[in-house]
Structure formats: C-alpha cells, structure tokens
C-alpha cells in the first residue's frame, strides 16, 4: 500500500523544470505487490504525482471527497480519469487493502477533509497522523477526533508516524477562527479596495473571507487559475457556501466603487505568473494597484520563496498600497501541530515505536525529542532518511537496507527524461550564455563552403562584442585551416574549436558559455 504521492516545485537550480515527482522505479519494479494508494488530504505535495503513478500501476485509490475531487481534475487533464479507480472514504470507512485494513480519523489542517490513517496489519497497528493540527476553534469542520485517537490507543498501537513540520515550536498552533477575527478587524475598518492573497487550497480561509465580504457588503472577484478552479470545485462539492450575488465576474468590476470590492487572488508566494505578481508589476490586463489599496497576504512563506515574495511586497508598497502580512498581524495560522499538540496525541495513542515524518531533519529531530520526553524509549524512536527501508515485526523494528530513491524532473510532457547533466547544462545556458558556430565543409576538398555563422547569446556586452567577434573569427579560421591541411576527423575539429574558444572566452569575459559547433560535411 502506498500512502500519498505528491510533487514538489523546482528550486532555483532547476531551470525549465515545471514540477518534480518522486522517482518511481522501485514501485514499478515491485508493482505486483502494490494493492492500493491511500490519500490523506488534497494538497499538491500529497496528490500531485498520483496520476504519474497510476500510469504505471493502476491500483485503487482511497481518499476523502475533497481530496479525490481535486485529484479528479488532475487525472482528467492527464486523460486518466476513465481508468482510475477512485474510492471515497470518510470517518466511518473500513477498507481492506491487501492484508491491511485502513480506517480514517478526521484531523485539522490547512485544507478540509484531512484524515489520519490507522492501518491494522498482520503484525500490529500502524498509525500515520498525516499533516495535522488540533484546532479547538476550527471553521466549517469538527475538532480533530481525539476520542478516536484514544480508542485506537487502547488497541495497542505498534508504530506511530507523526508530522514534524512545526515540532520546533513551543505551545499550540493558532486557531483558524483567530485568523478570521484578525481579518474581520482589517476588512471592517478598511474604506478602500481590498486584495487578499492566500493558498488556493485553504478552503476554510477562503470561506471566512467570503463570510466577511457578506458581512461588510462587498463584492468578491477571484483571480488566478488555481484559485478559480479550487473555489469552483469546493462550491460544487459543498465545502464552500456563498450567498448569491457576492461573487462577481471581472467585467462587472467597473460597476462598483473601489471600497465595495474585495479581490481574492493567487500569488501568496510571489510566484511570477500569479495574479498578485501581475497586478503589482502592471502586467495584469484588468487590475492595477491604486493608491490606498489594502493588500492582505493571508499565508505563510514556503522556505525558498522569500526573494520572490519580497520583490512583490516591495512593489506593492512602492505603488502606494498598504500591505499586511503575517509578521504584522495574525492573518495566517499554520496547518501543522506545535509541540503541545504532538504531546497530546502521543499521550492518547501511546505507541510502542515512534517515527517522526514530514519537515526537514531538524524538525524530525525535535519531534523525536518530544517523544522521548513523553516516555518513549530512545531506541524505539526511528529517524529515517529517504530510501531507508524499515522492517516491522510485532516484536522488533530493523532498518538495515536502502533503496535508490530520488526525484524525476518534468518539463512539458516528458517524464524523467531530464537528467542532472541536462539541468547543469541549462544552468550554464541561463547564467553564462551560449556561442553557436554553424559551418558547412566540402567533404572532398575539406574547405569551408562559406563563412561560418556565429551567434552569441547571453554573455557579451555590446561594447566588447566587436573585439570578441573579430578574435573568434580569427581563431575559427586557424582551426578550419588546420583541419583542411590535416587528416583530422570532423569530431576532432569540434573538440578543438570548443576547447580553444572556451578558454579564450573565459579569459576575456570570466564566463563559461556553452560553445556549440555545428559542422556539416556535404
Ligand atoms: Zn498538507
């Protein structure tokens, strides 16, 4: 059985890569053993790669209504919807997956319909918390089902896997309702147009914004593909309720005064092509920033995105907007448990073995410390790296095997056809540019048929380019002359040109452009 199958987004050193999925070669090799996929919730990093896996291993998928609803849209885009075997589960479900039985316990998170998974296996019970928090004041959903956790605890849990993302933070995570109060204050007091950026999957946050729009008689327009898509899907499935007449379309905006408008947009991470970024940098067709606009960023920043985000926030301020972000006001609550919530769950479940999951290694380490403080024996706590194989029996756990895992890079439609060297080449192209030399040589006389065509991109300044070009031409002439008078193979000529030009260009420009000779014999 596989638990979740997500994607991650490319880092700055992966130019041209759209998404990153897990390397599935181990799963494909063992596909005869796989009986099903269980989905804990509808976040991209948990459902994004399911389609790529189903292409190879078409086993049944189990998940809650919202997660499967969001997954459906993805499978549809990939043309897989008709073959996928999707099974909706809820807190009452008990499903058999091979020799396992799975049950689902509702927890709170930053997307509705998130479930911890209880697996009854032949050797004992394994509990996976999923991404979770315990919110005693949730919006539109129940408090995580603590009764069920304690009930499962009474059945003797062999191994518990727990979310570590916020395990370094003392106390209890903020409630979603508290975010609503902060937003109420800001929206209620504002007499200007309001623009709110959030995660498109934070359905309950969006619901709160819609409620406040109704309370303060504002019209709401939604911008950004994923935001429109998710809100539409959530209304369809009943996760978002909005009174008629609150939502308006782009073309209707002109009928309302600024102070009566509230825009919900994508771009809480400063993504270049998101609605907020386009609006900030005057690249949006319909909306631009007015002086006095109130922009609220109701989201956290995913590490690595800071640079892009600050660029957008600076631009918004520059154009006269008032920008509110998390560190200025409580306009966002994390979806992951703090220390107190982990302590509470460990107390209820009382597992024999404990394994921190999710988050960086430092977070998992902190999670392990919590378990130790709560009385779990240090040698019963397992900190694993990706690829480590954990063998569980009723009396012991061993970790002594490693399989190859990693990432596959996807650009456009191809899967896994981008190796590390392709990425390295793209990095060089992006940073240091390219020099292309096209030439045609006579097969029998070995003479050049015409002057070679030289194109340079991305490494020469206008001023110095004349001198460089002149020198490149002289060097090429020498190389082609040498070839003509010798018995060298054409591939030797390639290498000579590459080597000489690269060292010359480095010496002159301190850059390492890709030198690409294309020489054809006719
Ligand atoms: Zn999540």
Domain extents in the chain? 2-172+334-411, 176-324, 419-521
- Pair of tokens at residue 308: 């892009």
Cβ contact 120:108 at 8 Å: no
pLDDT at residue 344, rounded to an integer: 97
pLDDT at residue 422, rounded to an integer: 63
pLDDT at residue 412, rounded to an integer: 54
- Residue 163 falls in the annotated catalytic set: yes
Lowest mean pLDDT segment, chosen from 323-332, 427-436, 444-453, 482-491 = 427-436
Average pLDDT rounded to a whole number, residues 108-133: 97
pLDDT at residue 273, rounded to an integer: 83
Distances, alpha carbon 10 to alpha carbons 179, 183, 227, 348, 415, in Å: 30, 32, 21, 38, 14
pLDDT tens-digit readout, 315-332: 999 999 999 987 778 899
Whether the pLDDT of residue 463 is over 80: the answer is no
Separation of CA 177 and ligand 1 centre (Å): 19
Separation of CA 342 and ligand 1 centre (Å): 16
Whether the pLDDT of residue 417 is over 60: the answer is no
Q: Which of 113, 163, 293, 479 is catalytic?
A: 163
Sequential DSSP letters for 234-253: HHHHTS----TTSB--GGGG
* Angle separating helix axes 203-215 and 176-189, nearest 10 degrees: 30
Element (H, E) at 476: helix 462-485
pLDDT at residue 188, rounded to an integer: 96
Chain centre to alpha carbon of residue 234: 20
> What confidence tier does 464 reach under pLDDT thresholds 50, 70, 90?
low
Return d(Cα 105, Cα 134) in angstroms, integer: 12
Separation of CA 45 and ligand 1 centre (Å): 7
Matching residue, tokens 């009723």: 394
Return d(Cα 228, Cα 238) in angstroms, integer: 15
Task: Using a pLDDT cut of 90, give the percent of the chain over it.
Answer: 70
164: which residues sit within 8 A by CB, 6+ positions away? 356, 357, 358, 359, 363, 364, 366, 367
371: which residues sit within 8 A by CB, 6+ positions away? 162, 346, 354, 356, 381
**Domain 2-172+334-411 matches domain 176-324 at the CATH topology level:** no
pLDDT tens-digit readout, 14-41: 655 667 888 899 999 999 999 999 999 9
pLDDT tens-digit readout, 237-288: 999 999 999 999 999 999 999 999 999 999 999 888 899 999 999 999 889 9
Strand 100-107 to strand 94-97: parallel, antiparallel, or no bridges (unpaired)? Answer: antiparallel
Query: Which letter does DSSP use for residue 391 in this model?
Result: E
Whether the pLDDT of residue 129 is over 60: the answer is yes
Return d(Cα 410, Cα 209) in angstroms, integer: 35
CATH of the domain spanning 176-324, picked from 3.30.1360.120, 3.40.190.10, 3.40.50.10710, 1.10.150.120? 3.40.50.10710
Query: What string of H, E and C letters represents the secondary structure of 16-38?
Result: CCCEEEECCHHHHHCHHHCCCEE
Return d(Cα 11, Cα 407) in angstroms, integer: 12
pLDDT tens-digit readout, 351-386: 999 999 999 999 999 999 999 999 999 999 999 999
Return d(Cα 515, Cα 501) in angstroms, integer: 7
Strand 388-392 to strand 353-357: parallel, antiparallel, or no bridges (unpaired)? Answer: unpaired
pLDDT tens-digit readout, 82-104: 999 999 999 999 999 999 999 99
- Higher pLDDT residue, 461 or 277? 277
Separation of CA 132 and ligand 1 centre (Å): 8
Query: Which letter does DSSP use for residue 381 in this model?
Result: B
> What confidence tier does 76 reach under pLDDT thresholds 50, 70, 90?
very high
Separation of CA 284 and ligand 1 centre (Å): 30
Return d(Cα 23, Cα 26) in angstroms, integer: 8
Separation of CA 433 and ligand 1 centre (Å): 39
Return d(Cα 404, Cα 415) in angstroms, integer: 18
Separation of CA 114 and ligand 1 centre (Å): 8
CATH code for residues 419-521: 3.10.20.580
- Residue 336 falls in the annotated catalytic set: yes
pLDDT at residue 205, rounded to an integer: 96
pLDDT at residue 62, rounded to an integer: 98
Return d(Cα 272, Cα 10) in angstroms, integer: 14
Task: Using a pLDDT cut of 70, give the percent of the chain over it.
Answer: 93
Separation of CA 498 and ligand 1 centre (Å): 48
Q: Which CATH superfamily is domain 2-172+334-411 in?
A: Ribonuclease Z/Hydroxyacylglutathione hydrolase-like (3.60.15.10)
- Higher pLDDT residue, 108 or 12? 108
Residues forming beta bridges with residue 440, ordered by sequence position:
520
Average pLDDT rounded to a whole number, residues 177-189: 96
Separation of CA 157 and ligand 1 centre (Å): 24
Separation of CA 43 and ligand 1 centre (Å): 5
> What confidence tier does 389 reach under pLDDT thresholds 50, 70, 90?
very high
Q: Which of 332, 336, 358, 363 is catalytic?
A: 336
Nearest to 329 by CA among 359, 295, 357: 295
Sequential DSSP letters for 310-322: HHHHHHHHHTT-E
Q: What mean pLDDT is reported for the chain?
A: 91
- Pair of tokens at residue 106: 């509702």
Separation of CA 359 and ligand 1 centre (Å): 11
Return d(Cα 148, Cα 133) in angstroms, integer: 15
pLDDT at residue 407, rounded to an integer: 78
pLDDT at residue 450, rounded to an integer: 86
Lowest mean pLDDT segment, chosen from 90-104, 204-218, 299-313, 418-432 = 418-432
431: which residues sit within 8 A by CB, 6+ positions away? 511
- Pair of tokens at residue 49: 């790669």
Separation of CA 41 and ligand 1 centre (Å): 7
pLDDT at residue 215, rounded to an integer: 97
Whether the pLDDT of residue 117 is over 90: the answer is yes
pLDDT at residue 12, rounded to an integer: 60
Separation of CA 358 and ligand 1 centre (Å): 10
Whether the pLDDT of residue 337 is over 60: the answer is yes
Return d(Cα 192, Cα 105) in angstroms, integer: 43
Q: Strand (E) positions, 412-509?
A: 414-418, 434-441, 453-457
pLDDT at residue 490, rounded to an integer: 86
pLDDT tens-digit readout, 136-167: 999 999 999 999 999 999 999 999 999 999 99
Separation of CA 352 and ligand 1 centre (Å): 26
Lowest mean pLDDT segment, chosen from 203-217, 234-248, 504-518 = 504-518
Cα dihedral 258, 260, 266, 268, rounded to 10, equals: 80
Separation of CA 109 and ligand 1 centre (Å): 7
């Amino acid at each position: 059985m596989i638990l979740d199958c997500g994607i991650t987004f490319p880092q700055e050193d992966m130019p041209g890569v759209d998404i990153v999925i897990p390397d599935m070669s181990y799963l494909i090799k063992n596909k005869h053993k796989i009986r099903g996929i269980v989905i804990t919730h509808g976040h991209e990093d948990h459902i994004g790669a399911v389609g790529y896996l189903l292409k190879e291993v078409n086993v049944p998928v189990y998940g809650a209504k919202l997660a499967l609803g969001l997954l459906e849209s993805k499978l549809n885009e990939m043309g897989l919807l008709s073959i996928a075997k999707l099974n909706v589960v809820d807190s009452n479900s008990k499903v058999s997956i091979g020799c396992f039985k799975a049950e689902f316990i509702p927890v709170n998170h930053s997307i509705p319909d998130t479930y911890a998974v209880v697996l009854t296996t032949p050797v004992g019970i394994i509990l996976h918390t999923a991404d979770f928090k315990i919110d005693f004041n949730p919006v539109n959903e129940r408090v995580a089902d603590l009764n069920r956790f304690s009930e499962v605890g009474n059945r003797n849990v062999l191994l518990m896997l727990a979310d570590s993302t916020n395990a370094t933070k003392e106390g209890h995570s903020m409630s979603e309702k508290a975010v609503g109060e902060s937003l109420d204050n800001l929206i209620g007091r504002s007499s200007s147009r309001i623009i709110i950026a959030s995660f498109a999957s934070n359905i309950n946050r969006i619901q709160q914004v819609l409620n406040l729009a109704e309370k303060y008689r504002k019209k709401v327009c939604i911008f950004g593909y994923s935001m429109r898509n998710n809100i539409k899907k959530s209304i369809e499935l009943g996760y978002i309720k909005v009174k008629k007449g609150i939502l308006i379309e782009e073309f209707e905006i002109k009928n309302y005064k600024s102070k009566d408008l509230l825009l919900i947009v994508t771009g809480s991470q400063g993504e270049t092509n998101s609605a907020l970024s386009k609006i900030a940098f005057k690249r949006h067709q319909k909306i631009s920033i007015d002086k006095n606009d109130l922009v609220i960023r109701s989201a956290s920043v995913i590490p690595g995105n800071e640079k892009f985000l600050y660029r957008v926030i600076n631009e918004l301020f520059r154009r006269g907007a008032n920008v509110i972000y998390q560190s200025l006001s409580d306009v966002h609550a994390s979806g992951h448990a703090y220390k107190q919530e982990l302590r509470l769950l460990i107390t209820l479940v009382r597992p024999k073995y404990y394994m921190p999951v999710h988050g960086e290694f430092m977070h998992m380490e902190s999670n392990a410390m919590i378990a130790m403080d709560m009385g779990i024996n240090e040698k019963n706590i397992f900190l694993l790296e990706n690829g480590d194989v954990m063998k569980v029996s009723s009396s012991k756990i061993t970790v002594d095997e490693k399989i190859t895992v990693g990432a596959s890079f996807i650009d456009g439609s191809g899967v896994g056809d981008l190796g590390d060297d392709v990425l390295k080449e793209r990095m060089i192209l992006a940073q240091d540019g390219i020099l292309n030399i096209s030439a045609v040589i006579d097969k029998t006389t070995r003479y050049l048929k015409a002057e070679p065509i030289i194109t340079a991109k991305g490494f020469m300044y206008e001023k110095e380019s004349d001198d460089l070009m002149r020198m490149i031409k002289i060097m090429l002439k020498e190389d082609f002359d040498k070839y003509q008078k010798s018995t060298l193979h054409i591939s030797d000529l390639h290498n000579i040109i590459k080597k000489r030009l690269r060292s010359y260009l480095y010496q002159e420009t301190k850059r390492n452009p890709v030198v690409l000779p294309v020489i054809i014999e006719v």
